[in-house]
Chains A and B, each alone.
Chain A
Amino acid sequence: MKSSPGKATGTFKMLATILDIQRMSTEDGPGLRTTVFFKGCSLACQWCHNPESIKFGPQIQWQKHRCIGCRTCTSLCPQQALEFSPEGLKILREKCIACKSCVEDCPAGAIECKGEEMDTRRLLEILLRDKYRRLDLNWQFAEAELIPTAHMQALWQACKEASGLQETYFTGALRREE
Chain B
Amino acid sequence: MSKPKVKEPYNLSPRIRWLYDYYFAGAKRKWNNEFNAFTTGTDWDVLFDESSFFIVPEVYSFFNTFNLSFKQAAVIIDTDKDFYKQSLAERRAWFIKEAMVKHLPKEILPGDLLAGGRFNLQASMCLSKKEAALRKKEIASKNGLRNRVFEFHDRGFGNCGATCGHLIPDYPAILEHGFEGIYRNLEAKYAALTPEEKQGGKGAQLRAMMTAATLPRDLAQAYADKLAELLKTEHDQKRRAELETMRDNLLLSPWKPAQDFWQALQALWLTHMLVLSDENYPGAGVSFGRLDQYLLPYYQRSLAAGMDREFCKEILKCFWLHCNYAYDAMIATGDQGITAGYGQLFNLSGIGRDGKDTTNELTWVLLEVIDEMSPILEPKPNVRLHADTPDALLDKVVDMISASQGAPFLLNFDERSMAGLLREAKKAGVTEYIHEDNVWDYASVGCLENTMCGNDRSHTVDCNLNLYKAVELALCNGRDLIAYTDALWGKKYKVKEFGPASGDATRFSDFEEFYAAFITQLRYTMDKMAAIYNRSSDNIATYAPTPYLSCLVRGCAEKAADVTANGPELRFVTVEGVTYATTVDSLLAIKYLVFDKKECSMAELIAALRANWEGYEILRAKAINRTPKYGRDDPEADKLAQRVMEDFSEMCWDYKTNLTAAQYRPGMLSWNYWIGSGYILPASPDGRCRGQFLSNAICPVNGADINGPTANSNSVGTALGGKDSEGDYKHWINYLPNGASHTITLSPSLIRDDEHKQKLKAFLRGYGQNGGTALQINILDPEMLRDAQKHPEDYHNLLVRVTGYNAYFTSIGRELQNEIIARESHGNF
Q: Do A and B come from the same complex? A: yes
Chain A contacts to B: CB under 8 angstroms:
22-26, 30-32, 66, 68, 70, 72, 106-110, 129-130, 132-133
What are 11 A-B pairs at a CB distance below 8 A? A24-B710, A24-B829, A32-B710, A32-B759, A70-B617, A107-B626, A109-B621, A129-B633, A132-B765, A133-B765, A133-B766
Per-residue interface assignment for chain B, residues 747 to 779, with 1 indicating a CB less than 8 Å from any chain A CB and 0 otherwise: 001100001101100110110011000000000
* Highest count of chain B CB atoms <10 Å: which of A24, A30, A106: A24
In the complex, are the beta carbons of A66 and B618 less than 8 A apart? no
| Contact residues of B between 683 and 724, Cβ < 8 Å to A | 707-711, 714
Contact of B625 with A by CB under 8 A: yes
Proximity string of chain B (609-625) to chain A, C-beta cutoff 8 Å, 1 when within and 0 when not: 00000000111011011
- Expressed in whole angstroms, the Cα–Cα distance for A32 and B625 within the complex equals 28
Give the residues in chain B near A70, CB-CB below 8 Å. Answer: 617-618, 621
A109 engages B625 (CB within 8 Å)? yes
From A70, A72, A110, A130, residue with most partner B Cβ within 10 Å = A130
Known A30-B755, A108-B625, A129-B714; contact A23-B708, beta-carbon cutoff 8 A: yes
How would you classify the secondary structure of chain A's contact residues: helix, strand, loop or mixed? loop
In the assembled complex, how far is the CB of residue B821 from the closest CB belonging to chain A, in whole angstroms? 17
A84 to B619, CA, bound (A): 21
B709 interface neighbour in A24, A108, A129, Cβ under 8 Å: A24
Are B618 and A68 neighbours in the complex by a CB distance under 8 Å?
Answer: yes
A31 to B758, CA, bound (A): 7
Q: Is the CB of A68 within 8 A of B709?
A: no
Bound Cα distance from A169 to B709, whole angstroms: 23
Contact in complex: B829, A26 (CB < 8 Å)? yes
Contact bitstring B589-624, A, C-beta under 8 A = 1, else 0: 000000000000000000000000000011101101
Q: How far is the CA of A18 from the CA of B749 in the complex (A)?
A: 27
CA distance A68 to B710 in the complex (A): 30
CB pair A107–B622 under 8 Å, yes or no, is: yes
A32 to B769, CA, bound (A): 15
Q: Are A32 and B762 in contact (CB under 8 A)?
A: yes
Check if B708 sits within 8 Å of A24, measured CB to CB: yes
Closest to B707 in A: A23
Tell me if B617 and A132 are in contact (CB < 8 A): no
Q: Are the C-beta atoms of A132 and B626 separated by less than 8 Å?
A: no
Tell which of A24, A26, A130 touches B756, judged by Cβ atoms closer than 8 Å.
A26
The A-B contact count (CB < 8 A) is 65
Measured CA separation A19–B163 after assembly (Å):
54
Residue of B nearest to A21 (CB): B707
B617 and A31 form a contact (CB under 8 A): no
Asked if A132 contacts B711 (CB within 8 A), the reply is no
Instruction: Take A26-B750, A109-B626 as given contacts and tell me if A129 and B711 are in contact as well, using a CB distance cutoff of 8 Å.
Output: yes
Contacts of B714 in A (CB 8 A): 129-130
Chain B: residues with Cβ within 8 Å of the partner, total of 28
* Residue numbers in B under 8 Å from A110 (CB-CB): 625
The docked-state distance in angstroms from the alpha carbon of A25 to that of B756 is 11
- By a CB distance below 8 angstroms, the chain B residues around A132 are 762, 765-766, 769-770
* Given A32-B762, A32-B766, A132-B765, residue A23 in contact with residue B625 (CB < 8 A): no
CB nearest to B768 among chain A residues: A132
What chain B residues lie within 8 Å of A25 (beta carbons)?
829
How far apart are the CA atoms of A53 and B710 in the complex, in Å? 25
Q: Report B-chain residues with C-beta under 8 Å of the C-beta of A30.
A: 755, 758
Distance in Å from the Cβ of A36 to the closest Cβ of chain B?
Answer: 14
Give the Cβ gap from A91 to chain B, nearest Cβ, in Å.
19
Nearest chain A CB to B637 CB, angstrom units: 14
- Chain B window 188-200, contacts with chain A (Cβ cutoff 8 Å), 1 for yes, 0 for no: 0000000000000
Pick the contact of B763: A32, A107, A109 (CB < 8 A). A32
Are A24 and B763 interface neighbours, CB within 8 A? yes
Using CB atoms, name the residue of chain A closest to B711. Answer: A23
Residues of chain B with a CB closer than 8 A to A133's CB = 765-766
CA distance A106 to B618 in the complex (A): 9
A68 contacts B617, CB within 8 Å?
yes
- A26, A129, A132: most-surrounded residue (chain B CB, <10 A): A26
Identify the 10 closest CB pairs spanning chains A and B, nearest first.
A109-B625, A107-B621, A132-B766, A24-B708, A108-B621, A107-B622, A24-B710, A130-B710, A23-B708, A32-B762
Interchain nearest-CB distance for B765 vs A (Å): 6
Contact A72/B765 with A24-B708, A32-B710 known, Cβ cut-off 8 Å: no
Tell whether, in the assembled complex, residue B766 and residue A130 are in contact, meaning their CB atoms are under 8 Å apart. Answer: yes
Minimum Cβ distance to chain B for residue A60 (Å): 16
A129 to B709, CA, bound (A): 12
Closest B residue to A109 using CB positions: B625
Contacts of A66 in B (CB 8 A): 625
A32 to B708, CA, bound (A): 12
Residue of B nearest to A69 (CB): B617
Q: In the complex the two chains form, what is the Cα distance from A26 to B624 in whole Å?
A: 28
Q: Which residues of the partner chain B approach A108 to less than 8 Å between Cβ atoms?
A: 621, 624-625
CB distance from B617 to the nearest CB of A (A): 6
State A68–B687 Cα separation when bound (angstroms).
14
Residues from chain B with a CB closer than 8 A to the CB of A106 are: 625
Q: Once the chains bind, are A72 and B618 in contact (CB under 8 Å)?
A: yes
Q: Per a CB cutoff under 8 Å, which of A22, A31, A129 touches B759?
A: A31
Determine the chain A residues whose CB is within 8 A of the CB of B619 once the complex forms: 107
A107 close to B625 (CB less than 8 A): yes
CB distance from B658 to the nearest CB of A (A): 47
Q: How far is the CA of A30 from the CA of B757 in the complex (A)?
A: 11
Interchain CA distance A129-B770 in the complex, whole Å: 10
B31 to chain A, nearest CB (A): 48
> How distant is B792 from chain A, measured CB to nearest CB, in Å?
30
Cα-based distance from A108 to B621 in the complex (angstroms): 5
CA separation between A107 and B624, bound complex, in Å? 9
CA distance A107 to B620 in the complex (A): 8
Minimum CB–CB distance from A84 to chain B (whole Å) comes to 15
Residues of B within 8 A of A107 (CB): 618-619, 621-622, 625-626
Using Cβ atoms and an 8 Å threshold, which residues of chain A touch B765? 132-133
Residue pair B708, A31 in contact (C-beta under 8 Å): no
Contact B621 A68 (CB under 8 A): yes
